Structure 1
Amino acid sequence: MLDHYYKKLKGKNYDNVHADVIMSRVPEFLQKHELVAGDLFCYYIGQLHDIDWFPMTYGYNTRNRGDFEFFNRLVSKRHFAKVKTLLGVENSSEFKSKLDALIAKGADRGYANYRGKIPAIDYYVNPEAVASQI
């Protein structure tokens, strides 16, 4: 109902009204790509902990196409050691096992007719590269 009203009010057929409202109200101190990255980050961390989080703004992801600093840095053993608790694991082999399980599920989430599916975590993280560098 809200979607229908908003689309009629704005005179545009939005793919996701909620995401449009969120993105149109991003405060000046925050850049839109940072909000989208945070939303996607919550989604991926949620997947690792079996918590359901849906990144409503993922369709606005124009900046983090294959480049996500947090995940890029997982190749470093030092960085991995600092964030392993956040990832919900004790060591890199446990994390790789979690990644393999998520990858096996595939990228099956997203809005119908909305800029594609949510990128699977392996779009940003190569399990073989995790904690492989000093």
Structure 2
Amino acid sequence: MSPGEGSGDIGSISDKMLTQIIHNLQSFPNETVDLTQPHLRHSLSNVYPLYIFLYSLLVVCGTVGNAAMIAHILRRRLHRNPTNAYLMNIAVCQFIMSFPLLPLSLAILLVQNWIFGSFLCYFVPMIQVRRCTWQ
């Protein structure tokens, strides 16, 4: 076999992706580590309970508060007013952000390797809020 034949060519991988792969491989010096299992980041090993508590507080407050606002607007039929309809729209978006996305973001923060599959690899950045700063 020539160097270009076979299952893959390292030249076809972008420099950014290759750098990330090398960084991940250097983080796990043992070759027997099972990367299908979650591995806690070493830098957060002492403080991860605090992160879990704070994120849990955010999830509960965000979910309950936004659900209460949506229920209040719907119960009193205030959604016919454009301003209240707009506020309900924001509450629905924030409910989606606080209930399913915050726990997933916490897991991504705490776990060093990606264990969520290829669909979430592309879908999570689409639903996360990304602010562009043009300076």
Bin for the TM-score computed over the shorter chain:
under 0.3
The two structures have a TM-score, normalised by structure 2, of: 0.27
Q: Which has the higher helix share?
A: 2
The two structures have a TM-score, normalised by structure 1, of: 0.27
Larger RCO, structures 1/2 (Cα 8 Å, 6+ apart) = 2
